[in-house]
Structure 1
Amino acid sequence: MEEIQRIHSSLFKSTIDQWRQALSRVLVDVRAGDQLTGVYSPAQGARFYANDRETGQIDDPVLAHAFFSIWLGPSTRDPGLRRKLLGLDR
């Protein structure tokens, strides 16, 4: 949530609280060797998986966009990773 707030600084506290609750329902604790996958569908939201098991979905396209912008948005803290994820570094 800190990164979402950094990137989208104009969010209302009520939105932040709702998004925090939504994300806590789909994001699970991980250990070394676990694999997390998020599938972003711009018009629908996102689905999340841990070790090939679906952990939940978010039916809020604005939240999904904000979440994935942590890594894929132009304001990411790791532009090199963004380029790799977007296939721009070959």
Structure 2
Amino acid sequence: MRLVTCFRAAVRGIAISVLLMAGSPSWADWRSELPTATLVGQGDFTWFGWSVYQARLWSPTATFSWDQPFALELIYRRELSRDTLVQASIDEMRRMGGDAVDEARLTSWDSEMRKAFVDVQPGQRITGLYQPGKGASFYVDGEPQHTVADADFARAFFAIWLDTRTRSPELRRELLGPDKARR
């Protein structure tokens, strides 16, 4: 009888611990910021035949809009350095922004991305949460990494994948869906 009582107490203690941890903010990921998000689309990004990452676009509605928050999740298939991620992003933001984006702003954005990104390993995820008019928050494997309170940065960064001028129109079509990719 004493063994049964001890067992029940242990199980109760474990259950309470699990419930407390589940309610802990450290368990919160980007989904707590966008609780009604559903998968809009997904696709693979390849570079010269090498699979680099799988991208997934999440939105509170079944469609993408720059006027509402959304999350872009990248699941890496290759090891890449933070420097590579930041430089590729800066190059694309410069290309797409043209004369509207000056070097001082790009230098500031470079610094922000260095706080938001990490050296990635295969299977690792970086998710960017777009907040219209506010900026973007980044999560690494579901853990908050860095928030950039700059709406221009957020628009320029996510345009890399979602703007009509993207270098990867096929991935954009897969993310937005074939009937929505013209926006």
Q: State the TM-score, normalized to the length of structure 1.
A: 0.92
Q: Deviations over 1:20-76 (max 9, x none)?
A: 111111111110110111111111111111111111111100001000000001110
Residue 49 of structure 2 corresponds to which residue in structure 1?
A: none
Gap regions ≥5 residues in structure 2: 1-89
Structure 1: distance between partners of 2:177 and 2:153: 24
Identity %: 37
Structure 2: distance between partners of 1:53 and 1:59: 18
Residue 2 of structure 1 corresponds to which residue in structure 2?
A: 91
* Match of residue 47, structure 1, among 128, 137, 140: 137
Give the counterpart letter for 1:4 in structure 2.
M
Give the counterpart letter for 1:37 in structure 2.
T
| Higher strand residue share | 2
Q: Does 1:22 align with 2:108?
A: no
Q: Is the 8 A contact 1:28 1:55 kept in 2?
A: no
* Match of residue 64, structure 1, among 147, 154, 168: 154
Structure 1: distance between partners of 2:147 and 2:123: 23
Residue 78 of structure 1 corresponds to which residue in structure 2?
A: 168
| Aligned positions, number | 90
Structure 1 runs of 4+ with >2 Å offset: none
Q: SS at the partner of 2:139?
A: strand
**Structure possessing the higher radius of gyration over alpha carbons:** 2
- Root-mean-square deviation over aligned CA pairs: 1.5
Structure 2: distance between partners of 1:23 and 1:38: 11
